[in-house]
Amino acid sequence: MVSAVFKERCLTRVAFPLIGSINLPGSGVYNYLVNLMRVLAEHAKDRIQPVLFAGTDVPTANVEPFVAISGVEVVQAADFDDEKRGQRLRDALMTGCDHAAAQSLQKHRIDVLFESAQYCGWRFPFPTIAWFPDFQHRHLREMFSFGAYWKRDLGFRAQVLSRRHIMLSSEDSRRDCERFFPQSIGRTSVVHFAVLPPDASDFEGIRRIVANYKLPEHFFYLPNQFWKHKNHQTVIEALHILKQQGFDLVVAASGKPEDYRHPEHYKALQSLVVSLGLKHNFRFLGIVPREHVFALMRSCTAMINPSLSEGWSSTVEEAKSLGVPMLLSDLSVHLEQAGDSALFFDRHKAEQLAALMSQHKHLSVSSRLEMEQLAFAVSRNRLSQFAKDFLYTVERTLA
């Protein structure tokens, strides 16, 4: 049933706070918000008015991608500065309401709040969608300190007990949510996010970008952040197995070279690569521009995601939008997301990944172009469904 708010006026104003020290460019949440607003601008512009709230301390460059989206309203206010986050959270916990945020949302006539990596209190006066990206801390508890585990889990519990409408990115995550937090049953929605594929580019232009990285003609691409749960080690071990078998394959890995929970992890991976004699085979690219990510995907033999935990993988979604072959770890969410368009391996068995890599064939340019054109057409439907599912979630939150 469509709520009264939707009947009374065409546009429902949804607030999306941008947390400066957390939602940095290149982070999963930042990319998610940019992509979501672009999709809403194209597929729901007559129903949703996205309003980005950011602190006055957020660099202009971080806000510009949102400003560039037609129809997105941007509000920069001191109440959302990083230095005030602690006081706002204390206010939310002690009084039940983040009063500063509430006053700002009221001033800008907001109907619904999109709450992520924050908590505005159990008495917050606005209908609120709480987005839970995944339950990694529950599945990989050993990768979290005692404090980090409970901070994340208690945050989720607070949002569930505050009667938020919970938005998940996969059916796999919904099952987890309703198992871990039974009080959420009946108040969850699944919104499979989809990505806007880049405009078609000529392959010569793509080759010029890839040439900057001095990669061979045939290579595999691993575009995950260098966090421990992303499981780069299994890929390195697979390359070692392949080298012993006489295969000289190359994996290019890009992403932020820091894991705040495991500060030594990146150096440990580098040391492992050196100790196994794989400096030529496993290439650390670091952070690369987003357009380069797509160029590397379009050029690779296959994209690899060996992750130990995902909510709904952005790299898988990007590869799908381009028709890129995929080798994925056997997570339930990967199976849900990729289906028949990928090959799967046991995430703990490097020998399975090595076997898939040794057998995978590099496609011709004409074949890749044909697959990309087909994927592009299919992706338009996924984008439309993404917008519809988000709109339905907003309606349920307002009902």
- In this predicted model, what pLDDT tens digit does every residue of 332-354 receive, in sequence order? 999 999 999 999 999 999 999 99
Q: How many residues are given for the chain? A: 399
pLDDT per residue of the chain (399 residues) written in tens, 0 to 9: 334 444 445 799 999 999 866 667 767 788 889 999 999 999 999 999 999 999 999 999 999 999 999 999 999 999 999 999 999 999 999 999 999 999 999 999 999 999 988 899 999 999 999 999 999 999 999 999 999 999 999 999 999 999 999 999 999 999 999 999 999 999 999 999 998 777 666 677 788 889 999 999 899 999 999 999 999 999 999 999 999 999 999 999 999 898 888 999 999 999 999 999 999 999 999 999 888 999 999 999 999 999 999 999 999 999 999 999 999 999 999 999 999 999 999 999 999 999 999 999 887 777 777 888 788 878 888 999 999 999 999 999 998
Instruction: Report the distance separating Cα 170 and Cα 106, nearest Å.
Output: 32
Instruction: Report the distance separating Cα 69 and Cα 157, nearest Å.
Output: 34
Do residues 151 and 173 touch, judged by C-beta distance below 8 A? no
CA 304 to mean position of chain CA atoms: 16
CATH 3.40.50.2000 domain extents, the chain: 4-195+381-393, 203-379
Q: Which CATH number fits domain 4-195+381-393: 3.40.50.80, 3.40.50.2000, 2.10.60.10, 3.60.150.10?
A: 3.40.50.2000
Half-sphere CA count of 336, side-chain side, radius 13 A: 17
The DSSP symbol for 264 reads T
Do residues 165 and 129 touch, judged by C-beta distance below 8 A? yes
The token pair that represents 205 in the structure block: 């232009």
Q: pLDDT tens digit string along 286-336?
A: 999 888 999 999 999 999 999 999 999 999 999 999 999 999 999 999 999
203-379 fold: Rossmann fold (3.40.50)
Burial group, residue 374, by CB count within 10 angstroms (0-12, 13-18, 19+): exposed
Residue 294 neighbours by CB under 8 Å, 6+ apart: 197, 198, 318, 322
Rg over CA atoms, the chain: 22
Instruction: Report the distance separating Cα 214 and Cα 355, nearest Å.
Output: 25
Convert 51-67 to b/e letters by CB count within 10 Å (16 or more is b).
bbbbbeebeeeebebbe
Whole-prediction pTM: 0.89
Do residues 177 and 168 touch, judged by C-beta distance below 8 A? yes
Residue of 34, 75, 57 whose CA lies nearest to 290: 34
